[in-house]
Structure formats: C-alpha cells, structure tokens
Amino acid sequence: MKKTILSGSTVTGDLTLGNYIGAIHNWKQLQDQYDCLYFLADLHALTTTQDPSVLKNRIYSFFAQYLALGLDPKKNVIFVQSHVHEHTELNWILTCLTPMGYLNRMTQFKEKAEKNIKNINAGLFTYPVLMAADILLYQADLVPVGEDQRQHLELCRDIVGFFERAYQKDIFKMPEAHIGKVGARIMSLQDPLKKMSKSDDNEKNFVSIIEDPKKIEKKIKSAATDSGTEIQFDEENKPGVSNLLTLYSALTGRTISELEQAYVGKMYGHLKVDLAEVVIETLKPVRAQYDDLIKNQDYLDELMKSGAERAQARAQKTLAQVYQAIGLVARKN
Ligand code: TRP
C-alpha cells in the first residue's frame, strides 16, 4: 500500500517560478511513490472577502495552472475543496472539539489579524480547523507543508488526540509533515532574504508562471542585486545574485560553479539579461498549455468533476465513521 500525501493550496495569486521549480522536481517522483491528492482550497480563500467574479476566474485559472505545470489528473486526485462538502461537515465536528486557547496561539492568525484589522472574522480564527478537516478526511499520512503551515499541522495532530479522548475512537490517521527533497529554494526578487510567494503584496517580488514575457524581463532586470560587481554565489553577503544564480541553475541544469565561471568579468546586467531569456523560454510552453486549457472550460469542469468524485468517495467513508462514532443517526435511504 502506498502512503497517502495530501497537499492543498489556497486560491490566491498565481503560481510562481518557485512553484514551477518545486513542481518539476517533485511531482513526477511523488506520483509514482505515493497516493497523491491535491486540492484547491477555495474555501480557505474566503477569510478575506472576495470579488465573486474574480474568485470564479481564479479557481479555473488555478486549476489550469496546475495542469499546465504537469500535474497529471490520471495519476493524482486533483479537486476543488468546495466540491466535496464533507470538508465543511467534518470542519464543524472538529471545531466543536478544538479549544479556543489552542487557536489563540496560532501565529498566522495573529499576523493576518494584524494585517487586516477591518476584517478579523471567525473564519480567520478557525481556519486551521478546516485545514485539519482537509487532512483527516483522506487519512493522509504525509502533508508537505512550508514553515508557515507547520503550526497548523501540529494543531491537526492535537485535534486527532482531542477526538480520541472525547469519543474513545481511533478513526483518524496521525499525519506527519513531509519533508521532500529540497529543490532549489527560490527567494523573492526584491527581498532575497524571504521566500518567493504567490501571495506577496508586492508583485515585483515574484514571477508568475503565466506572466507576460515583457513583464518577466522587467522584473528580472530590476531584481535586487548586491554591492560589489562580481557574480559569485554567496548567500550571506550576496543574497540577490545568489538567488539569480540558483534560479538560473535550477532552470538550465548548469551548476552554480559553471555559471560563476561563465560570468567571470561580466556584470550583473549581463546575468540578468540572460536569465530573463531563460525564464521566458522556460515558461513559454507552460503558458501555451495554460492558454489552451483556460479556453476550454468544459474540459476543466469535467476534470474537476471526476477529481471531486474520486475525492468524495474517500471523504464520505471517513465522515460516516465519524458521524457514527459521535452518535449521530444515519439518514436511511
Ligand atoms: N493553508 C494552506 C496554505 O495556505 C493551504 C491548505 C488548506 C492546506 N488546507 C490544507 C495545506 C491542508 C495542506 C493541507 O498554504
């Protein structure tokens, strides 16, 4: 039996070059070794009020972006969270078991609440419980999470314990963080000390995978570089140039030292011009594929449907066990 990996992504922004590199290094391998589920966390996006037409387009766009990056819908279960209503049902059960005190400790809640003082809603507060429901419904063994989601995964593990203590039933698998092979870590273009993120407020910090080539060029050319002029990999003293070299190496397969050699005596500008071209060429087929997919909404609908059906068949089983364990009466058919 293969282990189950589950990964969700909140529907905000567009996927970035960082995602591209993670994807090409991980997905093919993961899909052979594990039973993989990927979903778009559209419900999680609602903790900030969304413009309905923007959200709708974004859900299609995100789905198409994942496919354009090479996620295979036959080998992986790819679906939209709101298409499987069991997520919100289990969410309620788990919400009733999660102490406020535990949620109060979540640093992401504190950060987000600070950033968005005008809309500190209860959903923002209980967000990690919905995340726990996402994970536990599928009996996931492993969850690839970044630093920012680690605490939420810990809470999910606590919730497994709360359920067992309350109902004396051991239904959920205890999930663990999946530490994948670390592909290249791509940093923000303007602030190379932090990770490139799709939800960055400053869009100069990232290149999206479906970005216009002119914009790509501009963003790479205006990426932060460091004092000095030498093109050398030195993360501590030259984080900007190092990031560009990492990116270059990840996209071309040339080693960092090979690149350093090639750029001896050249300027940052040379590196940027070349790198911009590499990025544009790399993303060209991704964007072409995306353009094809996004025109074909019927096809996307169909894939979403079959993904949701496969996911739901599994989610239903877990939820039925939970309802039974807590004493709810099953509706007779
Ligand atoms: N909160 C995660 C993020 O913003 C997305 C997410 C929602 C998720 N549910 C999940 C990730 C379940 C892993 C497992 O990145």
Q: pLDDT tens for residues 203-242?
A: 999 999 999 999 999 999 999 998 889 999 999 999 999 9
For the domain with range 4-178+297-326, which CATH number is right: 3.40.1260.10, 2.70.70.10, 3.40.50.620, 3.40.50.12160?
3.40.50.620
- For residue 78 the two structure tokens come to 């790819």
Task: State the pLDDT at residue 309.
Answer: 98
| CATH 1.10.240.10 domain position(s) in the chain | 203-292
Candidate from 5, 10, 108 with most ligand 1 atoms within 8 A of CB, to mutate: 10
Closest CA to 286 of 25, 72, 80, 66: 66
3-state secondary structure of 216: helix
CB distance 78 to 305 below 8 Å: no
pLDDT in tens, 86-134: 999 999 999 999 999 999 999 999 999 998 899 999 999 999 999 999 9
CB 188 near ligand 1, within 6 Å: no
CB distance 174 to 157 below 8 Å: yes
Is the pLDDT at 182 greater than 70? The verdict is no
pLDDT in tens, 141-157: 999 988 889 999 999 99
Candidate from 43, 134, 199 with most ligand 1 atoms within 8 A of CB, to mutate: 134
Is the pLDDT at 329 greater than 80? The verdict is yes
For the domain with range 203-292, which CATH number is right: 1.20.200.10, 3.40.50.620, 2.60.34.10, 1.10.240.10?
1.10.240.10
Task: State the pLDDT at residue 22.
Answer: 82
| CATH 3.40.50.620 domain position(s) in the chain | 4-178+297-326
Task: State the pLDDT at residue 104.
Answer: 96
- The pTM (predicted TM-score) of the whole model is 0.93
Q: 157: CA distance to ligand 1 center in Å? A: 14
Task: State the pLDDT at residue 314.
Answer: 98
Is the pLDDT at 331 greater than 80? The verdict is yes
- Rg (C-alpha) for the chain, rounded Å, is 22
Q: Which of 2-6, 134-138, 146-150 has the lowest mean pLDDT?
A: 146-150
What is the mean pLDDT of the segment spanning 19-25?
83
Query: Which ligand 1 atom is nearest residue 140's CA?
Result: 14
Q: 125: CA distance to ligand 1 center in Å? A: 14
- Which of 3, 28, 75, 112 is catalytic? The answer is 112
Backbone φ and ψ of 37, nearest 5°: -120, 130
